[in-house]
Structure 1
C-alpha cells in the first residue's frame, strides 16, 4: 500500500536523513543530518563531506521546510513490505495498548503524544512476532524517532518519576520491572552505531535499525496510529507465521561484539521452541557468529544464558528447560561451543 506523507505531522526540528542548514563561526554551512549522540547533539555530514556537530538542535534547521522527510515506510529497502494489519491482529494489539501503565496513562496515549509532535513510534521485536502468531504478549517494546532527552519532560508529566533512563543504550523504562511483575514499557531510540557505549549514535531509519536485530521474525515493526505492519527485510512476517529463523544482523554495522555473540544463544532458544532455521542462517551462524562467542567473558556469557533461558521459567522447571536447551544446542551442531564455553560454568546457573 502507498503511504500518505501528510499522515505524519511535521516535527519542530530536523530528523536524521534531512538536509540541514546552520551557522558555524559566522559562516553558513549545509549538510545532511546523520543522527545524534548520547547527549542529543546533532551529528552532521557537512557540504565538504566531513563529519560535524553542533551543541543543540536549536542551531540547525531543515533546508527545505516545506518539503520535510516523510515517514519511514516510504524509505524501505526494495525487499521491504508495508501492509495494513489484518483486523483481528490490529484489534488484539489495540486492546493491549489500551492497558494502563501505573502510575500513568495507557500505552496508546504515550504513542499518540509522540505522534502529534511529529515522531513515529513502532512496536517491535518479540511483541509483534507474538501477536502475529496469535499469542498474548506481556512485553511492550517501542522504538521511536523522537530523541529521548526531549521526551523526558513529557514522560515525567505523564508517569511522575517512575522511569529510568539509560542514556548510552538509548532507552527509557517506564513503570515496573520484569522482576517485580508490574506492568512496564521500554521506549528506545533507533540505534545507528555502538549502542551501549559513550560513542553511541542514534538515528531514525528502519532500514538501519532492522540490521542490528537478530532474526527477521524479530525485526517486524507495527505502526499503531495507521495500523501498519512494516517488514524491512521482506521475510519477517512470513517467518513469524511459519516459525522460521533468518538472520538479519549485519556485522558491518558497529553493533557491540557481545550483542552479535549472543545471537547463538538466542538462536538455540528459538530452535528449542520449534523454530526452524534456513540453511543460510546455519551457514552464517557457523561462519560469522560462532567465532564471536568466545569473545565474551565467562561471567557475561553464563549470565546471558541464565537471563535468556531460565529467568522466566518457574524454579521447579528450570532443570528441564535447561536440559532442553542443551540438547537443542548439541543437536544443531554446536556441541563444541557448549562444551568449551557453557558447560564449565553451569554451576553458576544455580539449577539446584
Structure 2
C-alpha cells in the first residue's frame, strides 16, 4: 500500500534516515490516509532520541517543551511537525498518565502501547505499512478495538473510554464487543479525568457525522459518573429514537448542544404545563445540564442556556412578543431558536 506523503513530512523522514535512523508517520494520519480522508496533521515517530532530532534539525527552530516525553517540535515554514521517539510506558497514575516513559528502538513496542488498533499503524515509503495489531483489518471491517486487553488500555488512560465512542461517531465504525463491554465495566474510571479533556471529546461526538453515538455515554453511565444529569434508564429507548435529529441541526456547537439537552430533558419537562416548561427548566435543570457541568466558554454556555429556555417557550408571530424576545436575546439567537423549533416538530 502506498500513502502519499506531504513534501515536508517526506523531507523530515528522509533527513532522519540519512543520519542512520528510521522514522514513520503514525496514528490518526495513517488511519485517515487509508480511509481516504486528508489528515489535518502528521505525527512522526522515530528511533532517534530527542537530542539526535535537535541535532539533525539544528538549522530549524525547535520546540522542546515536550522533550520529557520524547517529543520535539520542528518548525518548517511556520508549520510545526512533532517528532517523538519510540517509547514504552511505565505504570499509569490515576488512570491518566504514565509515571515514567522509557525510550525503545523497536517500532512494534511503540505501537503496542497505543489505544486502538486503527491508530496503531505506521508507514513510510521505504518500509511501507507496519501493522502488527491488525489495524488494517479493523479499518476494513469498520471496527474500533483496543490494542490488547481493553481493561488494561482503559485503566491506563480513562479518557480512552470516551475516545472509543468518539472514533465510532467520527468514522461510523462499530465498537468491538469486548471493547464495548469493557467500557461498561470501567465507566467509573472517567471520574479521574479532567473536565477539560472530557469536554473536548464529548464536543467532537456531538459535532460528528454520527452524533447518535452519544447514546453510549448514557447507556454506559459515563454521564452519571461525571455528575452530569441523572438520566433514567427507562428514557434511553425514547432518547435513542430522537437523537438522530442532531444531524439535521446546523454544524454549530451551541445549536447541537441545545437540541441534545432538549431531547434529554424532554420527558421530565413534558409533565409540566406548557406555560411553565421554560421556567421549570431554568429553575430545576439548567444548572446541572451538560454545558454547565462541563468546561465550555461562557459565551457558549450563555447561548445554549438561552436557546433551550426559548425552545421551551411558545413563540407567536405577535409583534410585541417578537420585539420583547429580540430585546432579550437578539436576532441571531432568535433565528437559531426558530431553526431548532422547526427540527423539534419532527421529534415531538
Tell whether the structures are fold-level matches, with TM greater than 0.5: yes
Shift of 1:218: 0.7
Provide structure 2 residue ranges, at least 5 long, that are not aligned to the other structure: 229-287, 304-348
Residues in 1 aligned to 2:68 and 2:98: alpha-carbon distance in whole angstroms: 6
Map 1:178-197 → 2, pairs under 5 A? 183-194=79-90
Residues in 1 aligned to 2:227 and 2:28: alpha-carbon distance in whole angstroms: 25
Shift of 1:231: 0.6
Shift of 1:276: 0.7
| CA separation of 1:198 and 1:124: change in aligned 2, threshold 3 A | same
> For the Cα contact (< 8 Å) 2:23–2:44, is it kept in 1?
yes
Q: Is residue 237 from structure 1 mapped to residue 104 from structure 2 by the alignment?
A: no
Higher CA-based Rg: 2
The alignment's C-alpha RMSD in Å is 3.1
Map 1:107-146 → 2, pairs under 5 A? 107-146=9-48
What is the aligned counterpart of 2:63 among 163, 166, 169?
Answer: 163
Residues in 2 aligned to 1:337 and 1:323: alpha-carbon distance in whole angstroms: 21
Provide structure 1 residue ranges, at least 5 long, that are not aligned to the other structure: 1-84, 99-105, 177-181
TM-score by length of 2: 0.58
| CA separation of 1:249 and 1:192: change in aligned 2, threshold 3 A | same
Residues in 1 aligned to 2:216 and 2:89: alpha-carbon distance in whole angstroms: 34
Q: Is residue 148 from structure 1 mapped to residue 46 from structure 2 by the alignment?
A: no
Match of 1:280 in 2: 178
- Tell me, what secondary structure is at the counterpart of 1:261? coil
Map 1:29-178 → 2, pairs under 5 A? 85=1, 89-90=2-3, 93-94=4-5, 96=6, 98=7, 106-157=8-59, 159=60, 161-175=61-75
Cα deviation, 1:239-277, whole Å, max 9, x if unaligned, reads 123321111155798x895x5201011111112221111
Match of 1:294 in 2: 191
What is the aligned counterpart of 2:164 among 250, 253, 267?
Answer: 267
What is the aligned counterpart of 1:349 among 278, 296, 301?
Answer: 296
Q: Which has the higher strand share?
A: 1
TM-score by length of 1: 0.57
> For the Cα contact (< 8 Å) 2:69–2:101, is it kept in 1?
yes
